[in-house]
Chain A
């Protein structure tokens, strides 16, 4: 039972344009959501997060949007740069209940930024 789903295994975007990565979840107990970025042969690195009490969080070129009623979140990267090419994982946790970040991850989306 996949509680966090990233339905697009890959995405290709032209440099300078906006990249939009999507994620859906099913567990209504999730209250904290994160995006991780992963390069080959490296562990995932934290990118940005959002609490369920917010619907938007912005950090530089990265913005995460949360739609609780649709159980959907998205990551916007603008403008996209070649260095953004990586696999992006969406993750969620029921932080308030569990008291810890036992993260549930999506399958990942491979983003390729074309020059």
Chain B
């Protein structure tokens, strides 16, 4: 079956512009996570959605970052007024239940120039 998909695969943007990154989780998966991997670093948790509950935003690095999940399925991560330090690979993962194995998408490589 289809795995987690993310778009775009690559995004180059100018400093100060807003960007939207999209994640399509595996159908039926109730939990959705966003992570990012900066150069030379491990994956860093950003935000977690579970069903219709309020998201856990504890990993978001600043108020320029926001995310939503519409209809319990597709999620978008928005970064406003991008900065060079936002350059990273942004990864989305979904799982059937909150404590189940996470399946990752291929990621979106964001470069802020």
Residues of A in contact with B (beta carbons under 8 Å apart):
2, 4, 6, 36, 41-46, 49, 89, 91, 95, 99-108
Contacts and interface: CB of A to CB of B under 8 A. Distances in A.
Interface of B: 4, 31, 33, 35, 40-45, 48, 50, 56, 58-59, 91, 93, 95, 98-107
8 contacts: A43-B103, A44-B43, A46-B102, A89-B43, A101-B33, A102-B48, A102-B58, A108-B42
Q: Which 7 A-B pairs have the closest CB atoms?
A: A43-B104, A105-B42, A100-B98, A105-B43, A107-B42, A46-B101, A106-B42
Contacts of A106: 42
A63 to B, nearest CB: 18
Given A99-B99, A103-B33, A105-B42, 6 more contacts: A43-B106, A99-B98, A100-B99, A101-B100, A104-B45, A107-B42
B78 to A, nearest CB: 20
Contacts of B104: 36, 43-45
Nearest to A41: B106
A100 B31 contact: yes
B48 A95 contact: no
